[in-house]
């Protein structure tokens, strides 16, 4: 019979002066049992389906298995996956209220009504606002745009924004990435003679009485793909207007670079229609970038033709978000709407400076938070809930995500504003954090979000009760074994199977992100070849080979523990490795490298 181990209360304290890195370091039982940083789960698609697909599209079994693990099991499905095409996207008129929306906008443009584009302050909202503003201005519309102040107004339509619309004599508001829950605010707009068209992708229990609602997730909408971002919904509105006017595809497809940025940043599923938009948008970013993206790439020292998902996720998106996190999203809007190189360069530099400050704030909060973890977990073993009234609210989500990555426990990071405690929540594994917060609702003033991330507000006197109840619920719902992060492995892959053809097909799985993770492979027939090297005291590089085959360079980022472990072994120990094979170029020479995700040394 398997008996779950009893955890010590102070399991986050340091032992023998060694700093704890992950949950597995916390207790000798787990260190002995797992010997790896992650929990490995090898996916098991139907072998007959894998063989049939392998034959049908002439690829190896590991490639076919990786496709099956993504729900791609036939020749036609594989063709659509490997050859994303705008020909396959659904008609925008499948949206409920699309015809009504197109007609209302046409009337507003023809009669010279003033239109306000009302967007959220994140990447999705700002890119969607820019997209609609540029398109409608190009058609001669009288357009204004409005983005809330994150700290003063919060999320969604605000009284201040509506008052500004009334002052500007706006008669039509089009929201982007917000509005679907703005029941009272839409009613207020109607009372002031302002029609509202909502472009959103969130869900709501009660729908506002808007003039029109474009949201693939609302009941009654026949649009077949539910996972568009807010900017993607705005694109569908533009597509519908163009098609109603009899225009050509390029009139709306020219904005796919903005949709690609939003889709990558907003963590929407990169499947089906989103995969098409991201594929096409990346091509535009690389081959015909706008002035704004050229200026940003220059500051980042990235060639535009080499822009990737990583460039967006870790470069462009954080710089856009920095404006709304620290000051006002107006700076991001000015950059997005720049019409010449001088303005684009000026506003890109402003975003760069904000992002530098944001990083410094992140680092300071993270450093202090890490020192607080041991003390907190001496009393609460199943979660991390930290609070400091001085912490900047704009970066709490970033810090929560970094602590989650490190400790693999549900994490809440909170600061204070206007007498209230506000914070960001991040979840681990399959734990639905929204459900956890519902169980804690007696200790909260307000909360919202989804299964992996949320935000909350509470009064200072509720903090102690919330911390205790949150930990209790996490302990009940999160099994001990799930506190070790999981790697999903697509297939066993012998090193001799990594051929040029294999790599050519594998590279076509990109772009990667939520809903289309990088394929991961496991090989258990390797041995260490030579001595490992420690790079910059953080990364490890070594050579591995299988049998008499060629040696492969293996690199693991931020894994000095692997260097320590390999250095303890003499000779050529057997290795079981989880990795992503990649083609690299150095000094004009192309070579294969295995990017290591985890290892077991035998």
pLDDT digits (tens, 9 = 90+) for 159-195: 999 999 999 999 999 999 999 999 999 999 999 999 9
Same domain membership, residue 195 and residue 321: no
Same domain membership, residue 299 and residue 277: no
Are 554 and 531 within 8 A, CB to CB?
Answer: no
- pLDDT at residue 366 greater than cutoff 50: yes
Same domain membership, residue 536 and residue 436: no
- DSSP three-state, residue 3: coil
Helix (H) or strand (E) holding 501: helix 500-506
Indicate the pLDDT class of residue 8, thresholds 50, 70 and 90: very low
Same domain membership, residue 284 and residue 296: no
Residue 36 lies in a domain: no
- Domain closes at, from 313, 345, 366: 366
Give the CB-side neighbour count of residue 155, counting CA atoms within 13 A.
17
Same domain membership, residue 302 and residue 283: no
pLDDT of residue 55: 97
Indicate the pLDDT class of residue 17, thresholds 50, 70 and 90: very low
Give the whole-angstrom CA distance, residue 215 versus residue 199. Answer: 6
pLDDT of residue 42: 95
- Domain closes at, from 318, 333, 366: 366
Same domain membership, residue 543 and residue 479: no
Same domain membership, residue 392 and residue 535: no
Calculate the CA dihedral of residues 333, 335, 336, 341 and round it to 10 degrees. 150
Indicate the pLDDT class of residue 35, thresholds 50, 70 and 90: low
Are 142 and 116 within 8 A, CB to CB?
Answer: no
pLDDT digits (tens, 9 = 90+) for 476-505: 998 877 777 889 999 999 999 999 999 999
Residue 293 lies in a domain: yes
pLDDT of residue 502: 97
Give the whole-angstrom CA distance, residue 45 versus residue 64. Answer: 10
Burial class (CB in 10 A: 0-12, 13-18, 19+), 596: buried
Residue 438 lies in a domain: yes
Contacts of 96 (CB under 8 A, 6+ apart): 213, 214, 218, 220, 221, 222, 223
Same domain membership, residue 296 and residue 281: no
Residue 14 lies in a domain: no
| Alpha-helix runs per DSSP H in 543-592 | 560-567
- pLDDT at residue 29 greater than cutoff 70: no
pLDDT of residue 213: 98
Same domain membership, residue 149 and residue 267: yes
- DSSP three-state, residue 313: helix
pLDDT of residue 596: 97
User: Which DSSP letter does residue 512 get?
Assistant: P
- pLDDT at residue 286 greater than cutoff 50: yes
Give the whole-angstrom CA distance, residue 77 versus residue 170. Answer: 46
For the chain, the domain total comes to: 4
Give the whole-angstrom CA distance, residue 251 versus residue 136. Answer: 12
> What string of H, E and C letters represents the secondary structure of 179-222?
CCCCHHHHHHHHHCCCEEEEECCCCCCCCCCCCEEECCCCCCCC
The CATH number for 577's domain is 2.40.50
Residue 489 lies in a domain: no
Polymer length of the chain = 602
- pLDDT at residue 33 greater than cutoff 90: no
Q: What's the mean pLDDT in 53-61? A: 97
- pLDDT at residue 23 greater than cutoff 50: no
pLDDT > 70 fraction of the chain, expressed in percent and rounded: 94
> What string of H, E and C letters represents the secondary structure of 371-393?
HHHHHHHCCCCCCEEEECCCCCH
Residue 251 lies in a domain: yes
Residue 350 lies in a domain: yes
- Domain closes at, from 483, 504, 535: 483
Residue 172 lies in a domain: yes
Domain that includes residue 208, residue range: 87-288
Same domain membership, residue 448 and residue 319: no
Which residues, listed in sequence order, are joined to residue 173 by a DSSP beta bridge? 116, 196
The CATH number for 207's domain is 3.90.1640.30
Same domain membership, residue 296 and residue 275: no
Same domain membership, residue 544 and residue 406: no
Give the whole-angstrom CA distance, residue 287 versus residue 257. Answer: 11
Burial track 363-382 (b if 16+ CB lie within 10 A, e otherwise)? eebbeebbeebeebbeebbb
């Amino acid at each position: 019979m398997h008996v779950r181990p009893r955890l010590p209360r102070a399991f986050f304290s340091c032992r023998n002066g060694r700093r704890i890195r992950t949950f597995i370091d916390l207790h000798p039982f787990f260190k002995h049992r797992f010997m790896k940083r992650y929990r490995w789960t090898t996916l098991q698609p139907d072998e007959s389906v894998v063989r049939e697909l392998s034959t049908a599209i002439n690829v190896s079994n590991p490639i076919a298995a990786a496709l099956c693990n993504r729900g791609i099991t036939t020749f036609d499905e594989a063709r659509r996956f490997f050859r994303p095409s705008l020909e396959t996207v659904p008609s925008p008129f499948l949206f409920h209220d699309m015809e009504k929306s197109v007609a209302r906008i046409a009337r507003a443009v023809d009669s010279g009504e003033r239109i306000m584009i009302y967007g959220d302050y994140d990447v999705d909202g700002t890119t969607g606002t820019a997209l609609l503003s540029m398109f409608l201005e190009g058609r001669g519309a009288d357009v204004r745009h409005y983005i809330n102040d994150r700290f003063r107004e919060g999320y969604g339509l605000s009284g201040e924004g509506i008052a500004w619309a009334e002052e500007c004599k706006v008669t039509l508001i089009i929201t982007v990435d917000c509005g679907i829950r703005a029941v009272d605010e839409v009613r207020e707009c109607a009372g002031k003679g302002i029609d509202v068209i909502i472009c959103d992708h969130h869900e709501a229990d009660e729908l506002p009485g808007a003039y029109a609602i474009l949201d693939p997730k609302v009941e009654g909408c026949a649009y077949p793909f539910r996972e568009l971002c807010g900017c993607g919904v705005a694109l569908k509105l533009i597509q519908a207007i163009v098609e109603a006017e009899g225009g050509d595809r390029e009139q709306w497809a020219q904005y796919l670079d903005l949709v690609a940025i939003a889709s990558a940043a907003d963590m929407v599923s990169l499947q089906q229609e989103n995969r098409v938009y991201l594929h096409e948008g990346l091509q535009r970013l690389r081959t015909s970038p706008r002035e704004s993206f050229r200026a940003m790439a220059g500051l980042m020292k990235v060639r535009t033709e080499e822009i990737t998902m990583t460039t967006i996720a870790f470069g462009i998106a954080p710089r856009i978000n920095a404006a709304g996190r620290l000051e006002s999203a107006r700076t991001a809007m000015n950059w997005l709407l720049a019409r010449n190189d001088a303005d684009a360069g000026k506003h890109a530099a402003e975003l760069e400076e904000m992002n530098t400050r944001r990083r410094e704030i992140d680092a300071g909060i993270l450093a202090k938070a890490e020192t607080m973890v041991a003390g907190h977990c001496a009393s609460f073993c199943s979660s991390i809930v930290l609070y400091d009234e001085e912490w900047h609210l704009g970066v709490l989500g970033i810090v929560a995500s970094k602590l989650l990555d490190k400790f693999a426990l549900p994490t809440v990071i909170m600061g204070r504003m206007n007498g209230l405690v506000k914070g960001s929540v991040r979840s681990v594994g399959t734990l639905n954090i929204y459900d956890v917060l519902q169980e804690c609702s007696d200790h909260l003033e307000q909360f919202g979000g989804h299964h992996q991330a949320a935000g909350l507000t509470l009064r200072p006197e509720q903090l102690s009760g919330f911390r205790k109840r949150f930990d209790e619920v996490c302990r009940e719902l999160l099994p001990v074994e799930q506190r070790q992060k999981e790697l999903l492995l697509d297939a066993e892959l012998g090193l001799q199977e990594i051929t040029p053809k294999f790599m050519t097909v594998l590279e076509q799985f990109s772009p990667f992100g939520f809903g289309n993770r990088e394929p991961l492979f496991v090989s258990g027939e390797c041995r260490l070849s030579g001595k490992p090297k420690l790079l910059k005291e953080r990364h490890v590089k070594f050579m591995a080979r299988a049998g008499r085959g060629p040696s492969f360079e293996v690199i693991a980022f931020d894994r000095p523990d692997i260097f320590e472990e390999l250095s303890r072994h003499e000779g050529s120990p057997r290795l079981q490795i989880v990795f992503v094979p990649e083609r690299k170029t150095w000094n004009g020479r192309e070579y294969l490298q295995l990017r290591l995700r985890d290892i077991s040394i035998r």
